Amino acid sequence: MPPVITAFEKSPDRGRGQARDMRVRWAFEEVGQPYEVRLVSFADMKEPAHRALHPFGQIPTYEEDGLALFESGAIVLHIAERHDGLLPGDAMARARAITWMFAALSTLEPPILDLTYAKIVERAEPWYAQRLPIVEDRIRVRLNELSLRLGDAEWLDGDFSAGDLMMVTVVRRLNGSGLLEDYPRLLAYVARGEARPAFQRAFDDQLAVFTAASAG
């Protein structure tokens, strides 16, 4: 039986590949591992059956042979460790690639999430216009640092790795925000990730879910 992941029955991002099943789908596609997707509604996610898999009532989850995982970072790392293609064989290079995964999730993603929440939840607050530039500036600090480190390299540390996969999925959350345009190297980095055939397959699959849900 192939691994089974969960994803939104109807993603609020309208199939733009911003929900966190996208990074898991992409990892599967990079390593050539077939997988199945169980679609869940917002209500399903809060039911005890789903919470048994995911204590926070979210997607994605991962199930295979009695193993149940949650947290997209843990799932991608599990896939990367079980298959060739996403982590270097050399132990030190492998540790550095995993470091980039953590950097994406714990240094880049939090300020980017702050911006998402500000725009969705705080827009009507009287202090929104004052807070927005503060939140955006925190992101710019990290984008600038990331861009400096990347320099003219194609990927963050040698060949494409799970570190790049995670970083691209995090940074591309800023697509359409106008923030990335000040960092041409990061724009090109995200575009390189999105141009990978494995990304395209994953993207098309999640878009097909949204398209079918919208038609139904």
Residues 45-64 within binding reach of ligand GTB (CB under 6 A): 45, 57-60
Look at the alpha carbons of 39, 74, 172, 152 in this order and tell me if their dihedral is positive or negative: negative
Q: Which of 3, 5, 9, 20 binds ligand GTB (CB under 6 A)?
A: 20
- Using CB atoms within 10 A of its CB, is residue 27 exposed (0-12), middle (13-18) or buried (19+)? buried
Spatial contact of 166 and 105, defined as CB atoms under 8 Å apart: yes
Closer CB to ligand GTB, 97 or 105, in the complex: 105
Stretch that binds ligand GTB, among 71-79, 96-104, 121-129, 174-182 (CB under 6 A): 71-79
- Give ∠ CA 111-118-141 in degrees, rounded to 5: 30
Q: Does 12 bind ligand GTB (CB under 6 A)?
A: yes
From the CB of 87, what's the least distance to ligand GTB, in Å? Answer: 19
Contacts to ligand GTB from residues 100-139, by CB under 6 A: none
How many residues sit in the footprint of ligand GTB (CB under 6 A)? 14
Which DSSP string do the residues of 53-72 spell out, in sequence order? T-TTS-S-EEEETTEEEESH
**In the complex, minimum distance from the CB of residue 17 to ligand GTB, in angstroms, rounded to a whole number:** 9
Task: Retrieve residue 93's tokens.
Answer: 């290079």
User: With binding defined as CB under 6 A, does residue 161 bind ligand GTB?
Assistant: no
35, 2 contact by CB (below 8 A)? yes
Q: Which residues bind ligand GTB (CB under 6 A)?
A: 12-13, 18-20, 42, 45, 57-60, 71-73
